Structure 1
């Protein structure tokens, strides 16, 4: 029986007519049992959460109080079956918090984040429950478990152990307080950032459009429409708005104004300021690590990862940092020369870099983003990502108009496997709007599992692309198109999942492995045979000219020094925040300045995510001490795509089958190192990353 088929009406309290009418608590009579977003209102959430907390607590109590000797079925499997209603309610709620919030939803979120921690603390620290898990873990070799069951038992034991289940009562009580406070702080950080992003915009008058492409101006008008400013044009702090403006605008004064607003999000000394929030988060994380017996939060966090130690992470980042910084400094000098050539009497500043880098790229590679954007329409790139998945994995996509959605812009596809059976439902929410947090992400409303029937996942991709206006399509930059494929790679990880147990489904893997399926999928977006098929001019329908395609491919490694410095510096700051004593970062800005000086950060480049807007590590702890994961995974993805190149076919059936079986479908049921070796036949070669970014130092001639 699927999780959405479980009838919640047997739960205590549902005789109340108001609860019986709550769409979150009823069986969903919708296509594929999807959430009835058209019926759900903010006032439905708290009653639904209350019922879900009650049901889950009762299910856990039944496991804890079971008089039978602990076995896999009555303990581990029972845990896997528990909390279905809570998962259902929470997934819908957090989708709206991130993708289509409103003041009522955000107010509820403040309460729910603390309540969620208060609910989970006594479960994850329950001594009797942990005792049952330990008893099974101690004799695991004697239980006759399948490979997946053994993996689930080990992951369950690890999760409870790392949550403090083995601590004494005083330590558990303090851990519970910390967890609740951290949940509140992470929510506050996210709300502050969203608040700053909603409040700032810059209106563009007729004299402010020099250098801006027609398609960009159309998107700026669409952004104004979203804010009720019809007839005007604005830029916002959304990256899809800011990046092209900084690359194209000839108005240096406006570039400076926009850039400073972009990097100051969360750092404006107003009600949305995140500095104090960061300081408290770091103190509490440090205390958590000490309680659990680790010297630093990074040591605690990385023990349960592929990297294992802060030293291993630092080793990778420093290896990349040196050639990236050298390349960035050489590019900086070239940009300064370009300014001088044009008669500019000023020193290159951070708000100039993208603008002059584009000019330099036009000179060196005869290519700029504006030339290719008319060929990269969103609809064509969606078709490209679907076709790639069909050719690799045999799955097909059919758009559905009858599935309820949370916003009119959201699109839905039914995904079928090669035999025509339902595989997943895929939602795409692609456009920026004030109600959506910045960035791009994948999540799910329901995970794949086979424990109670063959449950098809409901997978979401959320992006923040600029919307076209006046009937014009949304045009993507190469970076936008790469982001689209990246998030769809995550989506495939969820859609292709083929496991029994929910806790091992899809993206339930180590953080430094989870980016492999997404970053690997990016490679197909930039392949000539994909672009030649799907990159067509939005006005004429003409395919991408061969000459422009060649120039695009030649220009891919341009400005990689900048991009790598921007990323690696952010990953190093994340690591330093969580390896140094929390007292060292009591002044966040001073800490940032000190660490950047220590690594020799070029002053013309800012962190990709400055601390007060670094939602990856402060809106929650999923990427805390783990932002390096993108680069750790890039070592694997650059090496993994080599398997297709070596086969001489980017859609080679044998390699694609291994990719499906060992990486995309196995979820967390296999150790990630073993999964990679099973696919590739060996461990990844680190030099593939440097080679892909054009940063590999060539050996000197003898």
Structure 2
């Protein structure tokens, strides 16, 4: 891929890791999926796929130049192929016309061409950059771009026909990926480069590419003999199929559940925005007479709807019904591509668990006492479906803050203006609307151009903000369309410019009002924009390590989590928080309350993340299928150390925990906490210099851009961090930001 998700936070997928990372170096999602915070679950940065498309615009000096093919079109008897948008050169991907009917012929023609290109590469390969890496990058890019288009559309404009088409050609795509990943001529050429005198003349980025390709080839089975390789490939095919199906099943199960309500007593306590959304959903389902005031209403498991129920519905039975529906929805090579080892990851998790436990116990005690005083609930009778409801009531009582009452101050247009102003201050870039320049997949999608201080375009990105539960998967993520690359330059001199998409699932405009956001939705947008910045502001010309490509998984969340900190910066927040009707700025006392509430239930939120991370590592390092424990036994065992209240015996949340299977974070969910340490420490550089010192903020912002955002995967992330911060990272800032600094630890 991701911001924090809780029943009060929207989810971000960030990144989705492919086992063939030389083909899809980072498949976010977040997804960039981004973390599961508190009681709501999903992805963050999805997959960093790339996209392809035909040219629908005249050549513009301000437009990037891309091509899905680096050589003439494939000769084929199929008359439909010349018009297939997946096989054409393009300015920007034609997201508006790519359809399921294009997938089978387009992908098969592309694979046929790439097979021929690979044959030629293996026949002529030499241990040199022009004869090895440049043709390899072109092969990789063509597949990643084309597959990225259709996979992105499946995430944001899902149809049964598109699913079926992708499912049919996916085994053929995986077969080619396996052949490429297991190519001995390519592997031997990389080894020869590493062992030759030219090694010393390579740049750091080039050395990283060589080392990465050798490591990935080994992980992809290049050294396996025939029988073992066949078995390995069979397993990889099945994993790819199951991963795809798993994600589809989670989406279908989420979409399938909905509750039709006509009695307003059942939804007492739901805020006006939630009622308007529920009525709008009912209208879309054929109940044309539905209104926010009189119903009928349809409530779903889609994040904006589900979160409102769990936080605000006074009907305890309704909360229980939705909670149960949610939790009943449906050998490690991963660490080889990360900063941490299993031991180091577990050491960090234990240090943070120790720092969080007592605070989480106190959180629960406070909640029980408050609930009993307010509603006569027995202290020991607080259930899972009560926690978010009473936590929100306690937060309102303690800090006198109501999320729903804050919404009018956070209209989407103002939030985006403030975000772009911050980017200008910190990184010296200008962001301007470019709607109409590129085709989009939905009328709500915005398109933007990013310029440097000279006024020249350096990147582009799409922004798809609103929830569309009928066709769009949940969560929030940043995704790569194309990456920066000199090899794939259209004129041979200027690098191809990067393009990204940012996808969220926030509350859409209702009743003529703009999208009015919760503060957590604001954090989510900042989070995903952080991912996009690292993709767009890269200065790497080597396409295989540009942007987020080639960055170890447990460091890729650094920029996204770093950007969240600015939501609490007075000048930034006050520039965003303007009442959408009156223009009034958020009152100072409310800002101070938001600041104070930042650490509310920090121990509980931390433990929740640590539970997911610990469970993920346990399942991928020690669990023995068919042994004495089921995966649900492991869940219960890990929860005893990481949760103050154990999960329900019938809890089957693991069946929809996409991060550890379909979400790309297998054996890597700890990465969110690892990256939180890095991001908090990075932000503390601004705190040390003085957040009110505009000159210092700009200077450090430029340094952040030239290191964290610019260097991509061309340098080891620890070295990049040290180059920015002047030392190795420490968890002190994270514990301080979380209100848990009474316990010190060392990362």
The 1-side partners of 2:302 and 2:400 are apart by: 28
- Is 1:168 aligned to 2:203, yes or no? no
* Residue 466 (structure 2) aligns with: 431
* Residue 441 (structure 1) aligns with: 477
Residues 414 and 578, structure 2, Cα contact 8 Å, conserved in 1: yes
The 1-side partners of 2:655 and 2:133 are apart by: 40
How far did 1:440 drift? 0.8
The 2-side partners of 1:170 and 1:631 are apart by: 40
1:181 match: secondary structure:
helix
How far did 1:546 drift? 0.7
How far did 1:143 drift? 5.3
- Residue 610 of structure 1: which of 629, 635, 653 is its match? 653
CA RMSD of aligned residues (A): 2.3
How far did 1:214 drift? 1.3
How far did 1:605 drift? 9.3
- Residue 500 of structure 2: which of 459, 464, 478 is its match? 459
Residues 567 and 608, structure 1, Cα contact 8 Å, conserved in 2: no
Residues 608 and 643, structure 2, Cα contact 8 Å, conserved in 1: no
C-alpha offsets along residues 430-486 of structure 1, whole Å, 9 cap, x if unaligned? 111121111111102111122232211120011111213111122222221111110
The more displaced of 237-246 and 636-645 is 237-246
The 2-side partners of 1:528 and 1:514 are apart by: 27
Change in CA separation of 1:69 and 1:13 when aligned onto 2, cut-off 3 Å: closer
- Is 1:518 aligned to 2:563, yes or no? no
2:301 match: secondary structure:
coil
- Is 1:27 aligned to 2:72, yes or no? no
* Residue 235 (structure 1) aligns with: 299
The 2-side partners of 1:129 and 1:7 are apart by: 21
* Residue 696 (structure 1) aligns with: 741
Change in CA separation of 1:696 and 1:609 when aligned onto 2, cut-off 3 Å: farther
* Residue 49 (structure 2) aligns with: none
* Residue 594 (structure 2) aligns with: 552
- Residue 272 of structure 2: which of 199, 202, 214 is its match? 214
The 1-side partners of 2:455 and 2:390 are apart by: 51
Residues 526 and 563, structure 2, Cα contact 8 Å, conserved in 1: yes
Residues 385 and 525, structure 1, Cα contact 8 Å, conserved in 2: no
- Higher relative contact order structure (alpha carbons within 8 Å, sequence separation ≥ 6): 2
2:396 match: secondary structure:
helix
- Is 1:657 aligned to 2:695, yes or no? no
Give matches, 1:228-377, under 5 Å.
228-230=286-288, 231=290, 232-266=296-330, 286=331, 297=332, 300-307=333-340, 309-346=341-378, 347-377=381-411
How far did 1:604 drift? 7.0
Change in CA separation of 1:418 and 1:170 when aligned onto 2, cut-off 3 Å: same
2:500 match: secondary structure:
strand
How far did 1:373 drift? 2.1
- Give aligned pairs, total: 661
How far did 1:87 drift? 2.3
The 2-side partners of 1:478 and 1:427 are apart by: 22
The 2-side partners of 1:639 and 1:106 are apart by: 42
Change in CA separation of 1:599 and 1:362 when aligned onto 2, cut-off 3 Å: closer
The 1-side partners of 2:653 and 2:284 are apart by: 27
The more displaced of 411-420 and 343-352 is 343-352
* Residue 728 (structure 2) aligns with: 683
- Is 1:40 aligned to 2:73, yes or no? no
How far did 1:209 drift? 3.1
The 1-side partners of 2:64 and 2:115 are apart by: 20
The 1-side partners of 2:602 and 2:197 are apart by: 48
Give matches, 1:397-546, under 5 Å.
397-402=431-436, 403-433=438-468, 434-453=470-489, 454-508=495-549, 509-546=551-588
- Is 1:157 aligned to 2:195, yes or no? no
* Residue 14 (structure 2) aligns with: none
1:624 match: secondary structure:
coil
The 2-side partners of 1:156 and 1:305 are apart by: 15
The 1-side partners of 2:247 and 2:725 are apart by: 39
1:265 match: secondary structure:
coil
The 2-side partners of 1:570 and 1:323 are apart by: 17
1:437 match: secondary structure:
coil
* Bigger helix share: 1
The 1-side partners of 2:121 and 2:651 are apart by: 46
Structure 1: give runs of 5+ residues left out of the alignment: 267-285, 287-296
1:82 match: secondary structure:
helix
1:414 match: secondary structure:
strand
The 2-side partners of 1:217 and 1:184 are apart by: 39
Residues 562 and 683, structure 2, Cα contact 8 Å, conserved in 1: yes
Residues 109 and 187, structure 1, Cα contact 8 Å, conserved in 2: no
- Is 1:635 aligned to 2:677, yes or no? yes
* Residue 52 (structure 1) aligns with: 110
Give matches, 1:42-121, under 5 Å.
42-66=100-124, 69-121=126-178
Scaled by the length of structure 2, the TM-score of the pair is 0.85
Residues 447 and 506, structure 1, Cα contact 8 Å, conserved in 2: yes
1:582 match: secondary structure:
coil
- Is 1:5 aligned to 2:67, yes or no? yes
1:544 match: secondary structure:
coil
Change in CA separation of 1:140 and 1:363 when aligned onto 2, cut-off 3 Å: farther
Change in CA separation of 1:524 and 1:90 when aligned onto 2, cut-off 3 Å: same
* Residue 51 (structure 2) aligns with: none
How far did 1:234 drift? 2.4
C-alpha offsets along residues 278-312 of structure 1, whole Å, 9 cap, x if unaligned? xxxxxxxx3xxxxxxxxxx1xx21132111x2111
* Residue 144 (structure 1) aligns with: 201
Change in CA separation of 1:76 and 1:414 when aligned onto 2, cut-off 3 Å: same
How far did 1:678 drift? 0.2
1:326 match: secondary structure:
helix
The 2-side partners of 1:124 and 1:682 are apart by: 36
